[in-house]
Copies of this chain bind each other. A is one copy, B any other.
Amino acid sequence: MPVPPPNLYPPFNIVRLSHVELQVTDLAWARAFYADLLGLQVTHEVPGALYLRAMEERGHHCLILRQAAQAGVGHLGFKVWDEGDLGKLADWFRARDLPAEWVDRPFMGRVLAVRDPWGVPLEFYARMERLPAIHQHYALYKGVKPLRIDHFNLFSSDVDGAVSFYTDMGFRLTEYTADEATGRSWAAWMHRKGGVHDIAFTNGTGPRLHHTAFWVPTPLNIIDLLDVMATSGYLDCIERGPGRHGISNAFFLYVRDRDGHRTELYCSDYQTVDPDLEPIRWDLKDPQRQTLWGAPAPRSWFEQGACFAGATPRESDLKATPIVAP
């Protein structure tokens, strides 16, 4: 995969991923999972929906839980630099014959709702209501002590296409997995905010959301969470980990809620602000790219994901047999 030239830039500035709307079938259960168990702070509650933020965030929410008849993902939210960027983004999507419309969202005012070429619903905003800082209200910390939303990871039926499209939007590649046989990309990690990724794409039936990740202080917080989950009725929600990823170098744990939505608890990746940062290439046959320490992931981790509202997943024509744990 050629390194995208670092100085070709679109006319708008996407600052970072911001929030996700998860559709859940049991809002009370989801509240217990995300707020009480994981430790996100509830910032707003209306019948049928819950807004939450992580401990160092000052934006109003990074997670919306919405009661629904079936599980799904409403949209992925991104913050842009200023209002002017929104108009330029609208033009940019329309110029590509992609849907782009203005919607009103609570706590944000005018929001640009678009679809990427595979149908992923993206929402862009410039200003979200700001809340008082609570990162030094240590008595409020609980669960895994989530500090901030870190990234989205999507199954994609066309990883090379996604990399090209998101590169054009200003996302920069940090690491990727190459399929030797075909010369195509198996997976790619792309960032805006200076870490390993704001969004990643993995080959598979897509588009589907593989997981949303939250940054936590240290590996010990993840170990604490495991101990609590294992002994308070959440054992079956532990899917994979703890471990160290080869890709991103992060310490990780994957957990899943009752609707199958996957959350990664994540820490200790690295800074990527250099424009000449060389993307790191991994071979699809190198098992350490997934877990540096060698343990394989379970089959569910390779296969299961959540559908986006209004988008129909397609199978990828790129096949590989993952090394799985039973």
Cα A81 to Cα B268 in complex, Å, equals 25
* B217 and A127 within 8 A (CB): no
- Segment touching B, from A67-75, A133-141, A204-212, A307-315: A133-141
Q: Which residues of B contact A127 (CB under 8 A)?
A: 276
Pick from B136, B147, B275: contact of A82, CB under 8 Å: B275
Instruction: Tell me which residues from 83 to 119 in chain A have a Cβ below 8 Å from any Cβ of chain B.
Output: none
Q: Which residues of B contact A276 (CB under 8 A)?
A: 127, 130
* A273 and B193 within 8 A (CB): yes
Q: Which residues of B contact A183 (CB under 8 A)?
A: none
Pick from B130, B136, B275: contact of A249, CB under 8 Å: B136
Pick from B231, B270, B277, B326: contact of A139, CB under 8 Å: B231
* A263, chain B: closest CB distance, angstroms: 16
Q: Which residues of B contact A130 (CB under 8 A)?
A: 276, 278
Q: Which residues of B contact A220 (CB under 8 A)?
A: 218-220
Q: Copy number in this complex?
A: 4
* A244 and B227 within 8 A (CB): yes
Instruction: Tell me which residues from 268 to 291 in chain A have a Cβ below 8 Å from any Cβ of chain B.
Output: 268, 270-271, 273-278, 280, 288
Q: Which residue of B lies closest to A218 (CB)?
A: B218
Cα A231 to Cα B270 in complex, Å, equals 18
Q: Which residues of B contact A79 (CB under 8 A)?
A: 274
Cα A235 to Cα B246 in complex, Å, equals 13
* B274 and A59 within 8 A (CB): yes
Q: Which residues of B contact A16 (CB under 8 A)?
A: 273-274
Q: Which residues of B contact A223 (CB under 8 A)?
A: 219, 244, 251
**Interface: A325 (CB within 8 A):** yes
Q: Which residues of B contact A137 (CB under 8 A)?
A: 231-232
* A235 and B288 within 8 A (CB): yes
Cα A45 to Cα B325 in complex, Å, equals 43
Q: Which residues of B contact A224 (CB under 8 A)?
A: 138
* B280 and A230 within 8 A (CB): no
**Interface: A35 (CB within 8 A):** no
Given contacts A227-B244, A288-B235, A294-B235, whether A81 and B275 have CB atoms under 8 Å apart is yes
Closest 6 CB pairs of A and B: A138-B227, A139-B232, A56-B270, A138-B228, A194-B194, A230-B292
26 A-B pairs in the complex with CB atoms less than 8 angstroms apart = A7-B81, A15-B273, A15-B275, A16-B274, A56-B271, A59-B274, A81-B275, A130-B278, A135-B249, A135-B270, A136-B227, A136-B246, A137-B231, A137-B232, A138-B232, A141-B228, A148-B271, A217-B268, A218-B219, A218-B220, A219-B223, A226-B293, A227-B293, A230-B288, A238-B294, A326-B326
- 11 additional A-B residue pairs with CB within 8 Å, beyond A16-B274, A194-B194: A7-B82, A82-B275, A135-B270, A137-B231, A138-B224, A193-B194, A193-B273, A217-B218, A218-B218, A219-B220, A238-B294
